A and B are shown apart, each in its own frame.
Chain A
Amino acid sequence: MALFLYGTATHTGKGFFTREDRLNFFLRGHPGNVWVVGNNEKGALWLAEKNGVEKTKAEAQAIVTAEVEAAKAAWDALSDEDKAAHPGRPTDITLP
């Protein structure tokens, strides 16, 4: 069985993921509203309750990569002064 579920869901603020959720399953948010969720019953239920759209790992990775590439392009277009004000050029993200 795969270790993780992948999906997109819109962050709705307070209560979107709770202390109990964090104790019950792995959860990481990524650019593009992509969520990597521990593949257990509670993790799957969380994604469903958040009106999440389940994705394959490849689909989720493609969304994240597109976001990062767009962010890189935006960063490259910054002036040197603006670049200095930001922490650094976005780097590639590989989903687990």
Chain B
Amino acid sequence: MTTYPQINGLRVKYLSADPANPETGQVWYNSTTGALRVDGIQGTGTWAAGGTMNQARDQFAGAGTKDDMIAVGGVNSGDKNNSEVYNGSAWTAVTVFPSTVKKSGSTGDTTSAANFCGGDPGAKTSTQHWNGSGWTAGGNLSQGRANFQGSGPHTAGIALCGQGSPTNTNCEKYNGSSWTSAGSIPTAAGIFGSICAGTSAAAIGAGGYYDLRPGGSEAQTALTFSYDGSSWSNVNSMNTVRYQAMGGGTQGSAYVAGYASGPTATTSEQWDGTSWTAGAAMAISRNTGASAAATGANATVAGGNNASGTIIATSEEYTTPVGTQSITTS
């Protein structure tokens, strides 16, 4: 019989109390409670109220992580150039974007290094770098893109499809200074309004509008694609078609929330690297907001439209606690 020392190379420690700072995956026996314990077990994820943005907006982009997010541009009685950063508790206005922009894409996993690219009006190609205090011009996309998402860190980002002329099937990756081809999704037509998660080396894209024009029509989709650094392939679809939803994370741990088959939705799904499963529901229906997430386990969504189409400034934070649990048999 295989034993724990054979698997782990260490014996299970016999302790009178749980260690103060256990490592993820650490196993020990608590002699006081008589329980075999393990750290790093994910609890139940839930959505809670986050800070309220200074500028209510929809059709904007966000980058960063749950507690370190930047939001740029969007629409509210006209196109906006407002930029705000979130520290996990409050939003603060920062240097405005160099132009008004909506429906742009973004990459960057911190508010000290992020990129915002493309967007409307006119399916732009330009990229702007955010360094934590100001904006500088970056490399240009080779294709004009709008209504799309990007993902990944400042120097390893990816941009998924988006509206152009016609809607793009192709994608691009960014090394911090220039965009290069990242192949095309395996469909006959382009997609816009999808979510994107991961990096230029490993990513997924999901949902959006599958644009069959001319000759066909647009159709919301649940399609999901996976990128291995060189090509895209079809993987398991979401359980619900979603367009202009919020989402992010990595190729192995992502989430999508909002906008299902109706105009808005509270529902969410979690991606585990293989398939999508139903996640916790947000408290407020929304679409066309922005998101930031390091993984599917922790995220912030902000702004967008609520169920009546009103542009909102509120945000919600998705948190999945990780803690210590006893190992039991069932």
Contact = CB atoms under 8 A, between A and B. Distances in A.
Contacts of A87: 243-244, 259, 263-264, 287-288, 305
Nearest to B47: A22
Contacts of B280: 22
A90 B283 contact: no
A90 B307 contact: yes
Interface string A38-81: 00000000000000000000000000100110110011000000
Given A29-B283, A71-B308, A16 B75 contact: no
Contacts, number: 83
Contacts of B263: 87-91
Interface stretch (B16-24, B49-57, B124-132, B136-144): B49-57
Q: Tell me what chain B mostly uses at the interface: helix, strand, loop, or mixed.
A: loop
Nearest to B319: A19
Contact of B75 (A64, A75, A85): A85
A74 B307 CA distance: 14
B290 to A, nearest CB: 15
Interface residues on B, range: 20 to 34
B283 A28 contact: yes
A27 B316 CA distance: 13
Interface residues of A, number: 33
Interface in B235-293: 243-244, 259, 262-264, 266, 280, 283-285, 287-288
A13 B48 contact: no
B306 interface: yes
Contacts of A88: 263
A17 B284 CA distance: 11
B47 A90 contact: no
Interface of B: 44, 46-52, 59, 75, 89-90, 243-244, 259, 262-264, 266, 280, 283-285, 287-288, 305-310, 314, 319
Interface of A: 11-19, 21-23, 27-32, 64, 67-68, 70-71, 74-75, 85-91, 93
21 contacts: A11-B49, A11-B314, A14-B90, A17-B283, A18-B48, A18-B49, A19-B48, A21-B48, A22-B46, A31-B310, A64-B308, A67-B310, A68-B307, A68-B308, A71-B310, A75-B309, A85-B59, A87-B288, A88-B263, A89-B263, A93-B307
Given A75-B309, A90-B263, 14 more contacts: A11-B49, A11-B52, A12-B52, A22-B283, A23-B46, A28-B283, A31-B310, A32-B308, A70-B308, A71-B309, A71-B310, A86-B305, A87-B288, A91-B263
